[in-house]
Structure 1
Amino acid sequence: MALDIISRSRVLSDWLADKALPLWRDKGVDHSGGFVETIDMAGEPTRANRRARVQPRQVYCFAEAGRRGWSGDWRGAAEGGLAYFDRIFKQPSGFYGALADADGILLDPSFDLYNQAFALLAFAYLGEVVPARKAEMIERSNDLRSRIEAHVKHPVAGFEEDNPSRLPLCSNPHMHLFEACLASETVEGFDRVGWANLADEIAHLAMDYFIDAESGVLREFFDHDWAPMAGEKGRIVEPGHLFEWAWLLLRWAERRGSAEAIVKARRLFDIGEAHGICANRNVAIMTLLDDLSVADPIARLWPQTEWLKAAVRFAALTNGAERERYLASAARAAAALQTFLATPVGGLWRDKQKADGTFVEEPAPASSFYHILCAIYETEDCLARI
């Protein structure tokens, strides 16, 4: 089974370098330097409205591709994308708005912690790969973190959704902020203590509140006391997020030596694998309820990448039969991902697979690239450790 995931990893790496990165550099960046929201199945960009989150996610993709040695114009894409993000989305408050149209007209200036988290991720990766801009990225990173802490700090731990607070509170933006912390604390010159402290706070928030102590599931929506939101909303469990949190907690646990985080991450993974994978289609589905019944059988692309990332990270940290089990799971996840990458134009992807196994006919969303690229590079890195 190790050979299976190794061969699939090579295919995915070649697809990324030879198909996806060139296509999204060529068709996915417009004349203004901004990243398009979607590319249609004929390989042409659309004029769909642009979510703020897509811009720093694509900055991350091209910065990381550059760091990994991709020979295309990664720097022009990354720096141009950040300039566009600043020009179109940055508000007088120092935060980033939420939505613009294809002409660069801001449609929704509202605050979303999720979008700020991705700005921080972009700062970390660009600061690492473009030395001439590191001092600027350090300053911007510290400034945005300080603004977030001043604007939406929760009295117990973590952050509100806005100020004044709106409900429900959500685990998802904390997950991406956690990811930004883990990236930022490793970049030379960044405020390692500040980022490490925030990473620790979010890790404990997840282990103490987001993850149910009895069932081991991780919930999405909470009231102001970090108790599960009343009604069905508070029962929602997303297999993709079980895998994604497991991957992040493993990374944090390895740095901090936390046995508790490894135990909780393993349980998240086991629940996701046992209950979040459709046996007929062999893909990770979108939504369960907290009794582990299926709430939404649609399979989106991104949970496949998170399944893969978690499985290969577990494989790198285990041995013997346990490692073989995780390698087998990683091979299944890679196979699931590859079904979404089978498109008429190489370098694109499908986003949604219906319960009958057919795909929704729609353009490829740029937002998925962050998930795909990270999973492919993580697989390379973890297999190199085995």
Structure 2
Amino acid sequence: MDFLAQTLLQRWVPKWYGAFCDPNNGGFYERLGDQFVPRMGQPRRLLTHCRQLAMYAHASAHTRGAFKPDLKKHFDRMLATFYVPETGGWRFSVDDDGHPVDGTYDLYALSFVIFSMAHYYAATHDERAHTHALDLLKFIETHFVMPGLPGYAEAIDTQLKPIPRQRRQNPHMHLLEACLFAENTWGDRGFAVMADRMVDLFHHYFYIRDFGQLCEFFTDTLKPDPKDGNKVEPGHYCEWVWLLKKHAFLRGYDSMHDDLCAELLSWANAHGWDYVHGGIYDVVSPDGDVLTDSKRLWPFTEALKANALMLDVVPEIDKAPLKNRMAKMVSVFREHYMSERGFWVEWLHRDLTPAVDYMPGTTPYHVYFGIMETYAVMHARGRSVSWRAGILLGLYTIRRQLSGVVRGVKAKIKAG
């Protein structure tokens, strides 16, 4: 993990920043193709901008000044293109030039506005971020409430009316994530109250504990959807482990959700992992039958940090299997998903062959925070920084410097 974390900070993040930043129009590209070439013509989502901004803000504080993104520029661009001052909402997407494409106010995307504001503020202390986060929380509490129904609407239109859509646990989960980080950054009670509200929804609606089922899709009353209620995603089991542990920490009672987290992780490890090829299935049934055998990248990073978090929770007899699982995950991650140059495969077939040829701008958030959270947990457990990691990264740094010198010499020769 040491080498992986340092490679992430010193190599991948700067490379992603250079590739995803649009030098002409500002903001970030929605996706990249082969050799990090931007794919134009894709609507640029608020979600993508928020995840990119949050990641670079966090990384800027963990590289000892080596990585210096222009965070204010990207924050201002987000305000100029996505924020709608007339309503207080944030539109879903814009085109390459920043013109509105989809004016919907989407709960999932808005959650990441709060998340990105917290990280941007932590890096810059720009008070505008705090103000916008508080205003957006109030916007959600005012306009996303569904009278007589639990939880919040999936999305609302430009007239601030709920849009009829199948209800999901996922937007609520990310609203919890956003509010936990906001609470940790600013300490406002409103974020803590909303976080507690999301955890209550988990207990009373999203997770059917008697069956070990974390439901994804619901009716309006948050009952499992008759058609899609049997679809569960192992990656979300792991994501909830991380968020419940973070919630417990902020409430001052670290073991508050430990029994529940152990159940979630045990189920995900038993039913989500492909014991033939390796990797984590996208969708399975509550009984563990494979419904969609493709394997996206993000469940991998969520599982990595969930397993790390539970190392000091599970009985001693279960620690070795968790460590072995983490070692297998890192091996599959490095061999099939990520290259040392920072390219990644977003989606794999069951046999771990590539299923797509593009790289979405939303995915580095999963890779970055998955590795950094896992590294933080392992480091806190007393693991020292690997001497091998230091040597390898030192050699890589020297190689980069020499490459820069060579390119400079060639440029001078060509010019003169």
- Give me the whole-angstrom Cα distance separating, in 1, the residues matched to 2:54 and 2:68: 10
CA 1:102–1:281 in 2, change beyond 3 Å: closer, same or farther?
farther
Matched to 1:250, the amino acid is: K
Do 1:315 and 1:382's aligned partners in 2 also have CA atoms closer than 8 Å? no
More deviation, 354-363/242-251: 354-363
SS at match of 2:181: helix
1:222 and 2:218 are equivalent in the alignment: yes
Do 1:142 and 1:191's aligned partners in 2 also have CA atoms closer than 8 Å? no
What is the aligned counterpart of 1:166 among 164, 167, 181?
A: 164
More deviation, 161-170/26-35: 161-170
1:61 and 2:55 are equivalent in the alignment: yes
1:110 and 2:104 are equivalent in the alignment: yes
- Give me the whole-angstrom Cα distance separating, in 1, the residues matched to 2:351 and 2:314: 36
Mark the structure with the bigger radius of gyration: 2
What is the aligned counterpart of 1:42 among 26, 35, 44?
A: 35
More deviation, 210-219/88-97: 88-97
For structure 1, list consecutive stretches of 5 or more residues without a partner in the other structure. Answer: 1-8
Do 1:117 and 1:177's aligned partners in 2 also have CA atoms closer than 8 Å? yes
Q: TM-score, normalised by structure 1?
A: 0.90
Shift of 1:15: 2.4
Give the alignment of 1:76-155 within 5 angstroms. Answer: 76=70, 78-91=71-84, 92-131=86-125, 133=126, 135-154=127-146, 155=148
SS at match of 1:145: helix
Aligned position for 1:15: 7
Aligned position for 2:375: 380
Matched to 2:73, the amino acid is: G
Matched to 1:14, the amino acid is: Q
Per-residue displacement from partner, 1:56-85 (whole Å, max 9, x unpaired)?
A: 100110010012125445440x32222222
Do 2:59 and 2:67's aligned partners in 1 also have CA atoms closer than 8 Å? no
Per-residue displacement from partner, 1:252-274 (whole Å, max 9, x unpaired)?
A: 12333275622222211111111
Do 1:152 and 1:159's aligned partners in 2 also have CA atoms closer than 8 Å? yes
Shift of 1:361: 4.0
CA 1:71–1:318 in 2, change beyond 3 Å: closer, same or farther?
farther
Higher relative contact order (CA 8 A, sep 6+): 1
Aligned position for 1:351: 346
- Give me the whole-angstrom Cα distance separating, in 1, the residues matched to 2:87 and 2:75: 18
Matched to 2:75, the amino acid is: L
Per-residue displacement from partner, 1:354-376 (whole Å, max 9, x unpaired)?
A: 12321024121121100000011
Aligned position for 1:4: none
Per-residue displacement from partner, 1:80-110 (whole Å, max 9, x unpaired)?
A: 2222222222223222222222232321111
Aligned position for 2:197: 201
Shift of 1:222: 1.1
CA-based RMSD: 1.9
- Give me the whole-angstrom Cα distance separating, in 2, the residues matched to 1:356 and 1:331: 19
Do 2:262 and 2:314's aligned partners in 1 also have CA atoms closer than 8 Å? no
Matched to 2:87, the amino acid is: S
% of aligned pairs identical?
Answer: 26
SS at match of 1:279: coil
Per-residue displacement from partner, 1:279-330 (whole Å, max 9, x unpaired)?
A: 1221011001223211100000000000001011112445633333322222
- Give me the whole-angstrom Cα distance separating, in 2, the residues matched to 1:342 and 1:56: 23
- Give me the whole-angstrom Cα distance separating, in 2, the residues matched to 1:144 and 1:295: 37
Aligned position for 1:250: 245
SS at match of 1:199: helix
CA 1:193–1:157 in 2, change beyond 3 Å: closer, same or farther?
farther
Per-residue displacement from partner, 1:173-202 (whole Å, max 9, x unpaired)?
A: 111111111101111xx2531111111110
- Give me the whole-angstrom Cα distance separating, in 2, the residues matched to 1:341 and 1:353: 8
Matched to 1:88, the amino acid is: T
Give the alignment of 1:262-341 within 5 angstroms. Answer: 262-318=258-314, 320-341=316-337
Q: TM-score, normalised by structure 2?
A: 0.84
What is the aligned counterpart of 1:367 among 362, 379, 384?
A: 362
Shift of 1:156: 5.0
Per-residue displacement from partner, 1:19-38 (whole Å, max 9, x unpaired)?
A: 21121121210123211112
